[in-house]
Amino acid sequence: MYNKIKFKIGEFSKLNRVTVKTLRHYEEIGLLIPAEIDEWTGYRYYHVGQFQQMSDIIYLKRLGFSLEEIRDLLENGKQIPSLPLIETKLSQCADEQKQLQWRHNELSKLAKSLQKQEAMEKVIIKSLPAIIVASHRRIISGYQELFHLCPNVIGPEMYRLGCTCPEPGYGYTIEHSKEFNENRIDIEYCEEVYEKLTDSELIQFKEIPAMPMVACMYHHGSYETFPETFSKLFEYVEQNGYTIADPPRYSYIDGIWNKDSEEEWLTEIQIPVTKE
């Protein structure tokens, strides 16, 4: 028997990239109700199993289904709509313009996926050695800003300071925000370097201790679908008796800087864990 991992509403908001206000609205309309509500404090808690439900809601909403339609589907125990409902949405997409092309393509994929379920990707438990990193932390308004900063601000400053990096390089981000706000992300970018140098206004050098156990999983595609990978990772962590030790790291391997298509983006999500 394993202990349930509980997430406060702010943490659940941050990991799923939806606002607390949205979660409270979902609760009000009966779409996603917290697994626990403390009768004395009123604190809301969500369980690991609700990450998949949140992923379903986000995905179906992006496909153009209304909150009422999504609620009806989930109340009937369905994670995906029926083929007739999909075909109805496809015909609507055909009448809309270019901005709806993505939905049309995704619904076509979803119809095909009814015949074949994708296999769950493998979670790997590995260790990460102690490293020295060059760190840059700031508030950004979106990930596009981060991917501008790395080659145009952080990289040149590291070069000016004389940083040398091991090959292959290892860089990652950690989000320090307590809850999700798409226009205000408190993010720290860390890049492994050989030695600590003198700090500057943009770069601080840190010694990062070794991580004996890290639950890792590759995420393919858009960053908006991170919650789908978190659902599988947290389920694995919970079912195998691990405890989350530190915030997740996002190690960006392939992305907008070297790939033409979102489908080719590759990120490794790393969650430090412990086990008694």
Residues 6+ apart with CB under 8 A from 142: 182, 183, 185
Distance CA 149, CA 136 (A): 10
Average pLDDT over residues 215-225: 89
- Give the long-range contacts of residues 73-76, CB within 8 A, separation 24 or more: 74/31
DSSP β-ladder status, 204-208 and 131-140 = antiparallel
- pTM attached to this predicted model: 0.64
Residues 67-121 pLDDT 10s: 998 898 888 777 777 788 888 888 877 776 656 667 777 777 777 555 433 434 6
Q: Please compute the mean of the pLDDT values over residues 41-63 and round it to a whole number.
A: 91
Question: Residue 128 pLDDT > 70, yes or no?
Answer: yes
pLDDT at 237: 93
pLDDT tens string 7-40: 999 999 999 999 999 999 999 999 999 999 988 9
What type of residue sits at position 188? E
Question: Which tokens belong to 203?
Answer: 């770069």
Helix 49-62 to helix 9-16 angle (10° resolution) is: 50
pLDDT of 250 higher than 80: yes
- Tell me, what's the pLDDT at 121? 60
Mean pLDDT value of segment 238-250: 93
Beta-carbon count within 10 A of 189 CB: 22
pLDDT value, residue 17: 93
pLDDT score of 97:
65
Cα–Cα distance for residue pair 161/212, rounded to 1 Å: 31
Percent of the chain with pLDDT over 90: 53
